[in-house]
Structure 1
Amino acid sequence: MLTRSGAAMTAAAAGLIALGAWTDYPELVTLGLAAAGTLLVAAAWLVASPRLTVVREVRPRRVFEGDAAQATLTVTNVGRRGSPPLRITETVGGHRTTVAVPALTAGHGCTVSYPLPVASRGRYVIPPVQLGHSDPLRLLHRGRACGGELVVHVYPRVHLLATIATGGPQDAEGQTVSSAPLGGVAFHSLREYVPGDDWRRIHWGATARTGTVMTRHVVVPDEPRQLVVLDTGATPYSGRLFEDAVRVAASFCVAAERSGLPLRLRTTGGAERDSSGTALELLSTVACGAADRGLAALSDLVRDVVSDTEGVALTVVTGRVGTDAAQLLMQLRHRFLTVNLAQLVPPDSALPARPRGVLAVAAPTSEQFAANWNRLVLR
C-alpha cells in the first residue's frame, strides 16, 4: 500500500517522465526513472519481510467502568535478518490505537504495553492486531493480521449498597427443600447410600431397620432469594438515566453476592442470569428499547419465582413509576418478603410515586441513589 510519501513519489515519477518525454528533456526522464526505481527498491524491501511472532495479552479481561484495561504485545524477530521499526494498530470500539515497535535484530524481541480505550460499559471484541512495516523511506506500507480475537467486558460501575435483613431462615437449621444445593449442614431427609457419599453420614439405626445402607441427606438451608428486575423499556428514562439504572441494578446484584444470598437478575426484555458474575456480564451489554413492555410485564416475570417454601425479596430498578405500575407493585407486595423500588428520575422533577408497603428510593444519579439508600437503610 502506498503511503502519502509513496503516492507523492509515484506522482512525481509519472509527471517527470511524461514532462521529459514531451519537452524532449532527458534529465527530467532520468529523474522520473530514478523515482520509479526507488519505488521498486521499496517494493523489493517489503517482499523480503522479516519473520515476526506477536503474542498479545489483555489484562484484566473484565473491568468496571472507570478502570483501565491494558494490552501487552510481545514481538519477537525469529528470522535471520533484522526488522525495521514497526507500527501495530489496535481497533477497540471504533477507536484506533497505534503502537510503535523499535527495530529488532535477529533473535531479539521487545514488549510494549499500552492502555485500551474501554471507558464505557459494553462487550468489546478486539480484532487481531494489524502488524505493519514500511521501507526505510516510508514509501510503501505492508500490514497483516496477527493473533486472534479477544473479548473484554466492561461492567457497570458499582456502588456499595447496604443490604436489608429480610425475614426467612438463614442459619444452618433453617428450612430446607429437596432442590437445595448439596454440601450444607442442614438435615433434610434420609436416602439410600450412593458411592462417594461421606460414610460419616451413614444413619446406622435406619440401616439396621431397613437392611439398606441409609445416609443423611444434608443440604444448604433455604435462604431468602434476591430477585432484581431491571426495567429495560425506553419510556421511563430520559437522557442517560438508563445508564444510572443499570449501575444501580449491578450494585444490588453485587450486594446480594457479598451477603451470600441467592441471586436472580431479570430484565423486562426477557434476559435472565442467576449469579453476580453472569449478571454483570448481562448488564454490560443490556439496552433499553421502545418495544419493551417495561413493568407491564412484571407479573409474568415473577410468577415462577414465588413458592410456598422459598422467601423472595424483590427489587425493581426503573425510571419514574406511573400510577399503573405503582398499583401493580402494591398488588404484588404480599407475595414477597420485601419489595424495594429504585427510581432514577431527572433532577428538580416532581416527587415520584411511593407505593404503600414498598421501600421506594429515588435519585437523579446512581451515586446519589446509593447515598439515599444507605442513609435510609442504615439509620
Structure 2
Amino acid sequence: MPTRRGVAVLVAGIVLAALGYAYGYPELVALGCVAGAAFLGAALLAGARPALDVARSVEPERVARGEACLAVVDVGSTARWRSQALVGAERVAGADADVRDVAMPLIRLRAGGRTFLRYPLPTARRGVIEVGPMEIARRDPLGLIAATRRYGDVRRVWVHPRSHQLRTVPVGVSRSLDGLVDAAQYGSITFHALREYVPGDDLRHVHWRTSAHIGDLMVRQHVETSLPRIVILVDDRAGAHAVQDDVDSFEETLEAAASVALAALRAELHVELDLVSGRSVTPQAAGAPVLGAGPYLDLLAEARREEQASLPVAVQRLRARHRGDTLVLITGTHSGADLEQVGLLRDVYPTVVAGVLGEGSPQLGRLPGVIMIPARTAEEFAPRWDGVSRW
C-alpha cells in the first residue's frame, strides 16, 4: 500500500500535471508525469511477490511452563535466476493474548537457495501460543510503496501448567481387577454406546439389527466399570478467582489440577477432567488406545476464566456419573455456598475432595463429608494432599 510519501508524490504529480495542462506550462506537465511514473514504477517493484516457500515447525509442540521451546522457519527461494534480499518478521500470539512481531535478520537467498531461522518462544505463561505466519515486507528505493505478504502456516504450542509430585490418590469404592487398588466388589465391562465400524473391530460386537436399519455397520462400544475412576472438576469461573500478593488462584488451581491428574494417571486410574464451563476429557472406551497425559494437560493449557460458567449446572452434570467415582474439586473460591453445592454430591461420590487455592485458603473451615485441602499455592497443595491419612 502507498506510504505517506507515496500519497504525497502521487497527489503532487496529478496537481502539477493538471495545472500545467490548464495554464499551458509543459514543464509542470513533465514534472507531473515524472512523479506519476515514479509512483507506478514503485508499485511494480514493491508489488512483485517474493518467490518463497516457507515451512515452519516448533520444537517441541508441548512444554511445561518455563521450559525452552524453539520455532524453526525453513525459508526457500523458488526463483529460477534472481537472488532475493528480504526483511521479515514472525507473528507470535502469546499465551497472554499479546500479539507481537519477532523481527528476523536480513534474509539473503540465491536462486533455489534455502536458509533456516531459529528463535525462542515465550513460555513464561501457561496457555496456547500461535506461531506464524511470516510477514515479508518490501519497499521501493524511494519509499513510495510498502507491501507486506504472509507466508507459511500457523503452528500452535501448548504451554502446560507446571505439576508437583503427589504420592497418593483416592480411588473411591471402585476396584481394579489387576490388584493395583481394591476397595469394592462390583464392576464389569458394560455396554456404552453404538458407533460406526472401523477396520480391526471385532465382528462379534457388530449390532446387526441397527446396521441393517441404517445401512452401515455399527458396533457396540463397551466400558470397563470395574476400573477405578476419578473425576477432577476444575473451577474456571472468572468470579471464583482473584490475584492477591502476586498469587493468581486460577493459575495455582490449574497447577494443582495437573498434579492430581498426572498422579492418577501414574496410578493407572481412569481419569475424567471437567471444567465447570463444560469442556472435558474422558478416558477412551475399552479396547481403544489408552489416553496419555497430553489431552488432559492440553485442556488445562487452553483453560480461560469464563464469565458464563455455572457451578450448579456443573454439579447437575456430575450427578449423571455412575456411583463409585471419586470427585476432586479444584477451585479458588472461598464461598461456603459454592463448596456446599459440591458437598451435596456425597450421595453420588463416596469420596469428595475439595482443594481450595489462593490467599486466605488455609483459614477455611471444615465441610462435613468433604475432605478439605486448603493451600495458598499449588506447591503448598502437594504436601497437604499427601498428608491426608485416610481418603
Same fold by TM (over 0.5)?
yes
How many angstroms apart in 2 are the aligned matches of 1:299 and 1:37?
71
Tell me the amino acid that sits aligned with residue 354 of structure 2. L
Corresponding residue SS for 1:67: coil
Instruction: Tell whether the 8 Å contact from 1:86 to 1:102 is kept in structure 2 after alignment.
Output: yes
Q: How big is the shift at 1:120?
A: 2.8
Instruction: Tell whether the 8 Å contact from 2:169 to 2:260 is kept in structure 1 after alignment.
Output: no
Larger Rg: 1
Corresponding residue SS for 1:361: strand
How many angstroms apart in 2 are the aligned matches of 1:15 and 1:116?
50
Tell me the amino acid that sits aligned with residue 343 of structure 1. V
Q: How big is the shift at 1:257?
A: 1.6
Q: How big is the shift at 1:49?
A: 4.7
Q: Which residue of 1 aligns with 2:346?
A: 333
How many angstroms apart in 2 are the aligned matches of 1:219 and 1:241?
36
Q: Which residue of 1 aligns with 2:56?
A: 56
Q: Which residue of 2 aligns with 1:282?
A: 299
Change (3 A) 1:102 1:271: closer
TM-score, structure 1 normalization: 0.72
Q: Which residue of 2 aligns with 1:83?
A: 84
Corresponding residue SS for 2:109: coil
The one of 193, 215, 233 equivalent to 2:237 is 233
Change (3 A) 1:28 1:373: farther
TM-score, structure 2 normalization: 0.70
Instruction: Tell whether the 8 Å contact from 1:77 to 1:104 is kept in structure 2 after alignment.
Output: yes
Identity value in percent: 29
Instruction: Tell whether the 8 Å contact from 1:154 to 1:284 is kept in structure 2 after alignment.
Output: yes
Gaps of 5+ in 2: 21-25, 193-201, 206-221, 284-292
Instruction: Tell whether the 8 Å contact from 2:137 to 2:146 is kept in structure 1 after alignment.
Output: yes
Once the two structures are overlaid, the 10-residue window that deviates more, 152-161 or 52-61, is 152-161
Deviations 1:39-65 (A, max 9, x none): 555444335554221112223333332
Q: How big is the shift at 1:32?
A: 9.4
Change (3 A) 1:338 1:83: same
How many angstroms apart in 2 are the aligned matches of 1:305 and 1:339?
14
Q: Which residue of 2 aligns with 1:250?
A: 258
Instruction: Tell whether the 8 Å contact from 2:232 to 2:329 is kept in structure 1 after alignment.
Output: yes
Instruction: Tell whether the 8 Å contact from 1:164 to 1:377 is kept in structure 2 after alignment.
Output: no
Q: How many residues align?
A: 339
Once the two structures are overlaid, the 10-residue window that deviates more, 257-266 or 280-289, is 280-289
Instruction: Tell whether the 8 Å contact from 2:135 to 2:149 is kept in structure 1 after alignment.
Output: yes
Deviations 1:99-136 (A, max 9, x none): 13422111212111122345433344445322223345
How many angstroms apart in 2 are the aligned matches of 1:55 and 1:331?
53
Matched, 1:108 2:89: no
Deviations 1:9-30 (A, max 9, x none): 8799899999x9xxxxx99999
Matched, 1:97 2:102: yes
Matches within 5 A, 1:1-379: 1-2=1-2, 41-79=41-79, 80-92=81-93, 93=97, 94-117=99-122, 119-126=124-131, 128-135=133-140, 140-164=145-169, 166=171, 168-172=174-178, 176-179=187-190, 222-239=226-243, 240-275=248-283, 276-294=293-311, 296-297=312-313, 299-307=315-323, 311-333=324-346, 335-347=348-360, 351-376=363-388
Tell me the amino acid that sits aligned with residue 346 of structure 2. R
Change (3 A) 1:4 1:257: farther
How many angstroms apart in 1 are the aligned matches of 2:163 and 2:281?
17
How many angstroms apart in 2 are the aligned matches of 1:248 and 1:305?
23
Instruction: Tell whether the 8 Å contact from 1:172 to 1:221 is kept in structure 2 after alignment.
Output: no
How many angstroms apart in 2 are the aligned matches of 1:358 and 1:145?
55
Instruction: Tell whether the 8 Å contact from 1:88 to 1:130 is kept in structure 2 after alignment.
Output: yes
